[in-house]
A and B are shown apart, each in its own frame.
Chain A
């Protein structure tokens, strides 16, 4: 196990290096830079731009800028945001709770929908329940998430007024209940989209698991159906399912960009959208590298977890 972990970590480092290199050069290939925002002000003159360019170190050659960035990054110095001059680490740290909150709520409810959905669809395969669940799940993965979010917003927040249309709290009046109310619509969007994919996946692996010899044997021995399904089949299907959920959940942290934008949710997704609009290189680089790291790490965790859950799977 330790050898496996060590090997995976060693393999991960060049991956992260390549990812950061690609991200850096891609971002710097963008027309315009962090100084472009100053240009729309009529009193900003070329001398001002030159002065600012030099102060931000943007007139150095690209390789030099990358090296400085990398050296600082691994030391934990993630630089200063070009938008407001505050440390990138601080900007990310203050947005992280909001994203974690939304992601966990989304994952939780997605599981609440997906697990029973996938299991029932597999057990009642070919029958009405399966058709209904599969149709709903397929619809879920076919729906453009932002359109879904907009429609929910119009219907439930503006027309019916049941929920607030956006934001995380009502400022000045942020109670627990108020907090929950704000969470409902964005969580609904995230949960529906995730649950659709997950229930399909679980259905597939449950069907495979139910066809295994151990299950057939158990049935032959007269084990009650419920136990067959949950103890035998589900246990076997659980391993790969956990792996998929873990990776998706990790991607959710950076990938809820669309939902956070529609609902003005102050998390990492909307930080990304703003940083992109302002070409805030420091923030963009850090976000990309961090989220990739998180996924790679969770990948390893998922493999280990799978090995622990299912003794038949060995780590190579």
Chain B
């Protein structure tokens, strides 16, 4: 029929513009709510091209200096621990950097940013970290000394989102400053040329970028908003867009054969897992039940078949890209016999209809996940089947994105197929400390282990990299022993770019793939 014919003549069709150094078109999945990096709750790809931070994270998740001349550390004296338990971080700024309007970028902007975020008149998305800063001194235009009330381990990414320009926003209501929020003043390689609501944002190169006039190489970047995934991929095939970030895995086969495109695989800093809410389902509090549930799942098979081998099985919350990662942790291979034995041992006997029960109550619960992601829905259904095979009744329920967020935030769910984008600093406290259950944190398993909690807080309270690594390795081992949640697989990023694009490096963090857009070139 129609579809078979089109299958026959489906070619890589460049019906649109070819990518060139004149114009590169990005198919973006949503319109940003604002370009103010501190107000947005969405990924910051577009913003990254315009507004730069003091540091950024590269493709290996290393923190590298951007507008700062170097990253302050204990070793180079940039970080000084005070006797009262606080710390001082001295940022030396790169000289000769100016905002796009010519005004020099100075430490006054850094101080202004901290004061604005901590001030009562602005509602940024998060004040995390900023609220631990007591004050900022600016001894000269290129030096900012940030005084923290306590030791704050992720200080190096404190200013990753950039700085607010003092000379534009001082004294104003930043939430309502639409001129800035729609067209932010930055120091980056691009500035906003046009924003057609509902359709696209056009960025164009600035004439004098601080890295040198030859950067950026590509003159204009166009971000087209295409919410519907299928439409976006169709546009990619038709040549109407050239770049698509975070392509769904189930499109991989389809796009593989297209010769004008290259699919980059980046091991991401995120992992998919099944959360087990111990507060709501008391059965999950029994470690034998949790271990049985993980043994019942053939995670290698999922990765090989549903994910087409594009991801790797995960064994913990910290991912291989992180410096804190260790693979010396307990493993749980697929072993349904062992799962059944563990459940029997825990007192859950198989009932008449094949479902296990104890004291007359069945081992039944709902497994929720977000609708709209084909792969996730498929995995949920596969999990449901494999649990049913060992006598566990899990009913799959799909909820949309906003409903899911509030359900886990309030802890009103049984089990959830979910993923965390981990922060680039490997802090696990908010996810597993006993006192960080919602609303105080993201311990949505409601897991309680006092030794682990102490360990995690200790790892946060030091800036000594070696010490932190030691503590976090121990934490990962303890977590693998206790399996409060079931890690499934690492979320590999698939980014599709033209074959003619040079210097694309990808990025596993929220910084996004545009972190080095200034050196992209079409050749």
Using a CB–CB distance below 8 Å, which chain A residues touch chain B? 30-34, 36-49, 51-52, 55, 83-86, 91, 94-95, 98, 150-151, 153-155, 157-161, 164-173, 261-264, 266-267, 270-271, 273-274, 277-279
Contact = CB atoms under 8 A, between A and B. Distances in A.
Given A42-B422, A42-B442, A264-B226, A151 B234 contact: no
B167 to A, nearest CB: 23
Contacts of B423: 42-43
B433 to A, nearest CB: 13
B402 A36 contact: yes
Interface in B195-220: 196-200, 202, 220
A293 B222 CA distance: 37
A49 B403 CA distance: 16
Interface string B408-445: 11000000000011110000001000000011111000
A41 B41 contact: yes
B125 A41 contact: yes
B198 A159 contact: no
Given A161-B15, A165-B234, 17 more contacts: A31-B403, A34-B402, A43-B423, A44-B125, A48-B126, A48-B127, A52-B123, A94-B197, A95-B198, A159-B6, A161-B13, A170-B17, A171-B200, A171-B222, A172-B222, A277-B400, A279-B402
B125 A164 contact: no
A271 B198 contact: yes
A168 to B, nearest CB: 7
Given A84-B34, A85-B175, A166-B226, A171 B406 contact: no
Contacts of B225: 264, 266
Contacts of A159: 5-6, 9-10
Nearest to B234: A165
A164 B401 contact: no
A158 B402 contact: no
Contacts of A160: 9
Interface of B: 2-3, 5-6, 9-10, 13, 15-17, 23, 25, 30-34, 41-42, 123, 125-129, 175-176, 178, 181, 196-200, 202, 220, 222, 224-228, 230-231, 234-235, 237-238, 240, 399-409, 420-423, 430, 438-442
Contacts of A98: 198
Contacts of A40: 41, 405, 421
Given A48-B125, A153-B234, A164-B238, A158 B10 contact: yes
A42 B421 contact: yes
B235 A165 contact: yes
Given A40-B405, A44-B41, A266-B198, A158 B238 contact: yes
29 contacts: A32-B402, A33-B406, A36-B402, A36-B404, A36-B409, A38-B125, A39-B409, A43-B423, A44-B126, A44-B128, A46-B439, A48-B127, A86-B178, A91-B197, A95-B198, A154-B234, A158-B6, A161-B15, A164-B240, A166-B231, A166-B235, A167-B224, A167-B235, A167-B240, A170-B16, A171-B25, A171-B196, A267-B198, A274-B227
A158 B254 CA distance: 13
Contacts of B228: 166, 261-262, 264
Contacts of B17: 170, 173
A38 B41 contact: yes
A51 B2 contact: no
A49 B41 CA distance: 12
A154 B41 contact: no
B336 to A, nearest CB: 33
A277 B405 CA distance: 12
B421 A158 contact: no
B240 A84 contact: no
A34 B406 CA distance: 10
Given A31-B403, A171-B200, A264 B15 contact: no
A171 B401 contact: no
Given A94-B197, A154-B3, A167-B240, A278 B402 contact: yes
B36 to A, nearest CB: 10
Contacts of B430: 42
A31 B407 contact: yes
A154 B231 contact: no
Nearest to A50: B439
A30 to B, nearest CB: 7
Among all A-B residue pairs, the 5 with the closest Cβ atoms? A266-B198, A32-B402, A159-B6, A46-B439, A36-B405
B510 to A, nearest CB: 8
Given A158-B13, A167-B199, A85 B405 contact: no
**Most A CB atoms within 10 A — which of B25, B123, B234, B237?**
B234
A157 B227 contact: no
A49 B441 CA distance: 12
Contacts of B10: 158-159
Contacts of A169: 199
Contacts of B16: 164, 170
B230 to A, nearest CB: 7
A43 B3 CA distance: 46
Nearest to A153: B234
B202 A171 contact: yes
Contacts of A270: 198, 227
A128 B457 CA distance: 82
Nearest to B157: A43
Given A41-B41, A95-B197, A158-B234, A51 B123 contact: yes
Contacts of B235: 165-167
